[in-house]
Amino acid sequence: LKEVVTRHGIPVLIISDRDPRFASNFWRSLQNALGTRLDMSTAYHPETDGQSERTIQTLEDMLHACAINFAKGWVNHLPLVEFSYNNSYHVTIKAAPFKALYGRKCRSPVCWTEVREAQILGQELIQETTEKIVQIKERMQAARDRQKS
């Protein structure tokens, strides 16, 4: 609720794998109260599971590269990885997920210097964040290229 409903409203439909948590009494009661329908994917159904599995693999590859190259745990880099993923062009939707969802490009650290926020936030923070985002995007492209082959 905290992550989805507050940002996007109540979904009409949730598609899930066969995770037993979604079949619990709690989830069924919540879905009934919210008027949300739950559709379970068919086991081993590639059209349903394929996209999410590819996304998970891409994020795992990105996090793995970050943990190795940034010399810190993956948890520290998850927000930047998520940001980079959501603001990178996706061929399947012909846009970045952020732009597809909100209809505009995301205001990001990459453009902070253009709007003079560098004075408020500090040039070093902006430069470091921008460099990490560029590295993550490069690793994300490499992960996509590996998945295609």
pLDDT the model gives residue 46: 59
Element (H, E) at 45: none
pLDDT the model gives residue 124: 72
The whole-number average pLDDT for the span 8-18 is 81
Shared domain for 95 and 144, answered yes or no, is yes
Residue 113 has pLDDT above 60, yes or no: no
pLDDT band (50, 70, 90) for residue 2 = confident
**52 compared with 21, residue with greater pLDDT:** 21
Q: Among residues 125, 58, 63, 133, which one has the least CA distance to residue 91?
A: 58
Number of domains in the chain: 2
Chain length of the chain: 149
pLDDT the model gives residue 69: 63
**Region of residue 39 (left: phi > 0; alpha: psi -120 to 50; beta: else):** beta
Start-end of H helices in 12-122: 25-34, 46-69, 74-86, 97-102, 109-112, 118-121
Residue 116 has pLDDT above 50, yes or no: no
Shared domain for 35 and 84, answered yes or no, is no
Shared domain for 128 and 81, answered yes or no, is yes
- Average pLDDT over all residues of the chain: 75
Shared domain for 50 and 20, answered yes or no, is no
**45, 56 contact by CB (below 8 A):** no
Q: With pLDDT > 70 as the criterion, what percentage of the chain qualifies?
A: 74
Residue 73 has pLDDT above 60, yes or no: yes
Shared domain for 66 and 21, answered yes or no, is no
pLDDT the model gives residue 72: 61
Question: pTM for this one?
Answer: 0.54
Domain range enclosing 136: 46-148
